[in-house]
Amino acid sequence: MTINQNVTAERPNFVSHLECSLTGERYEAGQLHGLSRAGRPLLVRYDLEALARTLKREELSSRQTDLWRWRELLPVRHAENIIALGEIETPLIPIPVSGGAGVLVKDEGRLPTGSFKARGLALAVAMARELGVKRIAMPTNGNAGGALAAYASRAGIETIVLCPEETPEVNVREIAAQGARVWRVNGQIDDCGAIVGRGAAEGRWFDFSTLKEPYRIEGKKTMGLELAAQFGWQLPDAIFYPTGGGTGLIGMWKAFDELEALGWIGSARPRMYAVQASGCAPIVRAFEAGEEHAERWENAATVAAGIRVPRAVGDFLILRAVRASGGRALAVDDDAILNAVDDTARQDGLLLCPEGGATLAAYRKAVTDGLVERGERVVLFNCATGLKYPLPPAEGRLDRHSALDLDVLAPLRA
């Protein structure tokens, strides 16, 4: 598939303002913003009545099915600032053996840089370019840094990335290879974020931490827009989403509200399941305690690095969406995650990343606990290609010069 050349076509922009997600305070669009005055994420708001008069749902069918298909529902005002690396609509893959009937994996590993971070960073970097940002810094557990490096390098924006020491080596090298200056930090991602925040306060760079700028969520919400279109404008029964910072879950919930306001879908919503690892589950703990905010998780540890986030700035938005949907926050242990990855690869031919494996492990737990019925329409998010992560060793070797016993390789069938 070629990269969509129509992204440069000029279209009306429907952004009306930005809004504090906690207080509702309005902020002017077209200006550079971080968090609100209340220290909470800003959300982009659109004139949806005007958009509904301008764009009909049926018009989308004639467009190439990529991220920029949704351009009227995205904040970029000037088309020349769009940075496109081939942000396809990702497929829904059945996993009938390891998951069961009705279970589909939305495989985000097909996106540029191999993860769903491409969605958010494509939009955030485009808006940084539009608003005149020259230097960006960001903490990352890996995949977000790779996406930022790719898009920022293409945009000509200088980038500094800080990674926890436990970040997989392949991610650190990917970030460096794509032009960012990357540093390992002896701490967790929020420790890296504290350093980024300090530099931003001194005017050294703009802080691109999760939800600390308003536009990454707009890229991530395209996952919800795509799901609506892929399901014929009727949403699935349940979504299992690997939740660290939770931008994608928040973004999908926002997308569903916007689609309903446009009259493109009804009021029915999927049950949203925020999936975390048992070794780092602040959202699960807050959900179970009935709290609106999640305390920091100390000594975070899990094989699923992408959801090893001890504290999320958008915690209350995640919890509100989960509760409003009738869903849950679920924790699964590393053994269950790795077993799910192994099962899906061997039984259904799909190589999940550990975070994607966590969603299958959580789905199995939900079925066992009676939260989900087998046969319901369920979407699991695989947030990155499994090829970015360490794979089990494969030690088999043959000496072609020695006598070969082919029965060792594959016994003849009767």
On whether residue 264 sits in a domain, the answer given is yes
pLDDT for residue 1 is more than 50: no
On whether residue 394 sits in a domain, the answer given is no
- Per the rule left: phi > 0, alpha: psi between -120 and 50, beta: everything else, 250 is alpha
Indicate the burial class of 203 (C-beta count within 10 angstroms; 0-12, 13-18, 19 or more). exposed
Contact between residue 241 and residue 355 where contact means Cβ atoms under 8 Å apart: no
Indicate the burial class of 312 (C-beta count within 10 angstroms; 0-12, 13-18, 19 or more). buried
- The pTM score is 0.93
On whether residue 220 sits in a domain, the answer given is yes
pLDDT tens for 40-76 read 999 999 999 999 999 999 999 999 999 999 999 999 9
Into how many domains does the chain fold?
1
On whether residue 356 sits in a domain, the answer given is yes
> In sequence order, what are the residues at sequence separation of 6 or more whose Cβ sits closer than 8 angstroms to the Cβ of residue 14?
46, 47, 48, 50, 51, 54, 72, 73
pLDDT for residue 11 is more than 70: no
Specify the pLDDT at position 74. 97
Average pLDDT value for the chain:
95
On whether residue 270 sits in a domain, the answer given is yes
Specify the pLDDT at position 344. 98
In this prediction, what percent of the chain has a pLDDT beyond 70? 97
Q: Rounded to the nearest 10 degrees, how much is the dihedral formed by the CA atoms of 68, 72, 75, 81?
A: 50
pLDDT tens for 241-272 read 999 999 999 999 999 999 999 999 999 999 99
pLDDT tens for 173-215 read 999 999 999 999 999 999 999 999 999 999 999 999 999 999 9
| Per-residue confidence band for 8, with pLDDT thresholds at 50, 70 and 90 | very low
CATH number for the domain harbouring residue 351? 3.40.50.1100
On whether residue 118 sits in a domain, the answer given is no
On whether residue 198 sits in a domain, the answer given is no
On whether residue 188 sits in a domain, the answer given is no
Q: What is residue 302's three-state secondary structure?
A: coil
Give 8-13's long-range contacts (Cβ < 8 A, gap of 24+): 8/79, 8/80, 8/82, 9/79, 10/79, 11/71, 11/72, 11/79, 12/54, 12/72, 13/75, 13/76, 13/77
pLDDT tens for 348-398 read 999 999 999 999 999 999 999 999 999 999 999 999 999 999 888 999 889
Residue range of the domain that includes 361:
92-113+216-387
